[in-house]
């Protein structure tokens, strides 16, 4: 409705009005806008001469999909400098004045992730609590990349429950959850034995019977379990652990017991149709021997090892060696 200078009386239903143009006349344009603002999407308002109690109606018009305002508006109540800046940027031909006694002081709340990355910033009225920008839809919930030990879930903000009396930086707070990993023991590639779930830092122990292999014994090749290729004393990720096998065929006739591997000794005890006498040294009066080493020198693919001492150590006063470890 434009050029309404001669229109003095006007009645119509204001329900469901989505687009409105007003210019001139004696109609109370402010009253009309207040009636239709809930459904209004587009507004073209010319030659305004309004006095409003606060910034509410201007903020509603600011949020329409399209709007043009010209003339003047006096705000005789609460208004903020940031609101005034937005009005000036949106409606260049609208003069907005205000009562300085009601100017609301605001402070900038800057929201950052826990690594310091800025997420958003919001001006907050002095004496008010800063809002949760996730709850208001200003931003999506921030995220933090998992590390080997923890996954992180956004839980809250620090410094959000006290009133603003100065500019403030507000940091995202995360709840850590310790990660769980799968440890799988294999007899050989493609042949799993057991699996367990363990948390980061836990020890995983193979608690079942010692692994055995008989798949090659029909061809007189024997395997004796010799340990695992990885340590599972401190789990830091999904871990595949493979059995180490002492693998050998039967020893040649006349081989001394002391020169046989565990797999060869095992093979002699399990092979059928073998003449054990061929492996006994008559010169030793059947007193062949086998050296036994006490203890075990572990070696794992996932553990760094270093030589601390290569021989017995005693310096005459102390019976220990400081390794600086």
CATH assignment of the domain containing 230: 2.60.40
The pLDDT, as a whole number, for residue 294 is 47
The pLDDT, as a whole number, for residue 148 is 95
User: Is there a domain that residue 115 lies in?
Assistant: yes
Number of domains in the chain: 3
Token look-up 């004796």 returns 224
Domain boundary among 104, 138, 155: 104
User: Is there a domain that residue 304 lies in?
Assistant: no
User: Is there a domain that residue 55 lies in?
Assistant: yes
Q: No. of H helices and E strands in the chain?
A: 4, 14
Whole-number Å distance between alpha carbons of 250 and 221 = 7
User: Is there a domain that residue 294 lies in?
Assistant: no
* Total-model pTM: 0.66
114 shares a domain with 96? no
The pLDDT, as a whole number, for residue 285 is 45
User: Is there a domain that residue 43 lies in?
Assistant: yes
Residues 75 and 54: beta-carbon distance below 8 Å: yes
Q: Compute the Cα dihedral for 256, 258, 263, 265 and give only its sign.
A: positive
The pLDDT, as a whole number, for residue 27 is 79
CA 246 to chain CA mean position, Å: 43
User: Is there a domain that residue 266 lies in?
Assistant: no
The pLDDT, as a whole number, for residue 24 is 74
Residue by residue, DSSP assigns 247-264 as: EEEPPPTT--GGG--HHH
Domain boundary among 104, 127, 147: 104
Q: Per-residue pLDDT for the chain (325 aa), expressed as one digit of tens each?
A: 454 555 556 566 667 889 999 887 777 899 999 999 999 999 999 999 999 999 999 999 999 999 999 999 999 999 998 999 999 999 999 999 999 999 999 999 999 999 999 999 999 999 999 999 999 999 999 999 999 999 999 999 998 999 999 999 999 999 999 999 999 999 999 999 999 999 999 999 999 999 999 999 989 999 999 999 999 999 999 999 999 999 999 888 878 878 889 999 888 888 766 666 666 555 544 445 555 554 555 677 777 777 666 666 556 666 666 666 6
Domain boundary among 204, 220, 249: 249
Structural domain boundaries, residue 120? 106-178
Dihedral angle at the C-alpha atoms of 246, 252, 256, 260, nearest 10 degrees?
Answer: 0
Whole-number Å distance between alpha carbons of 99 and 76 = 5
210 shares a domain with 168? no
112 shares a domain with 97? no
């Amino acid at each position: 409705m434009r050029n309404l200078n001669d229109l003095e009386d006007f009645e119509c239903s204001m329900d469901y009005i989505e687009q409105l143009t007003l210019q001139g006349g004696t109609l109370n344009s402010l009253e009309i806008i207040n009636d239709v603002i809930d459904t209004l999407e587009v507004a073209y308002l010319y030659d305004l001469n309004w006095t409003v109690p606060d910034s509410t109606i201007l903020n509603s018009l600011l949020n329409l999909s399209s709007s043009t305002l010209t003339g003047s508006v006096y705000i005789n109540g609460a208004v903020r400098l940031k609101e005034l800046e937005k009005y000036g940027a949106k409606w260049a031909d609208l003069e907005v004045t205000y009562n300085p006694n009601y100017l609301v002081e605001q402070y900038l709340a800057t929201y950052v992730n826990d690594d310091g990355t800025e997420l958003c910033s919001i001006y907050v009225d002095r004496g008010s609590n800063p809002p949760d920008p996730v709850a208001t839809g200003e931003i999506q919930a921030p995220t933090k990349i998992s590390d080997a030990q923890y996954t992180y879930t956004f839980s809250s903000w620090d410094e959000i429950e006290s009133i603003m009396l100065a500019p403030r930086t507000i940091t995202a707070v995360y709840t850590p959850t310790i990660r769980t990993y799968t440890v799988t023991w294999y007899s050989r590639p493609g042949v799993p034995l057991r699996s367990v779930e363990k948390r980061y830092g836990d020890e995983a122990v193979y608690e079942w019977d010692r692994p055995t292999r008989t798949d090659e014994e029909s061809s007189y090749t024997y395997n004796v379990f010799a340990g695992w290729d990885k340590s599972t004393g401190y789990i830091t990720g999904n871990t595949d652990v493979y059995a180490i096998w002492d693998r050998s065929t039967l020893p040649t006739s006349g081989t001394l017991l002391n020169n046989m591997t565990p797999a060869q000794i095992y093979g002699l005890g399990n092979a059928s149709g073998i003449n054990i006498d061929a492996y006994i040294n008559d010169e030793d009066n059947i007193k062949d021997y086998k050296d036994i080493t006490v203890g075990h020198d572990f070696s794992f693919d996932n553990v760094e090892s270093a030589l601390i001492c290569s021989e017995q150590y005693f310096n005459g006063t102390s019976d220990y060696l400081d390794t600086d470890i």
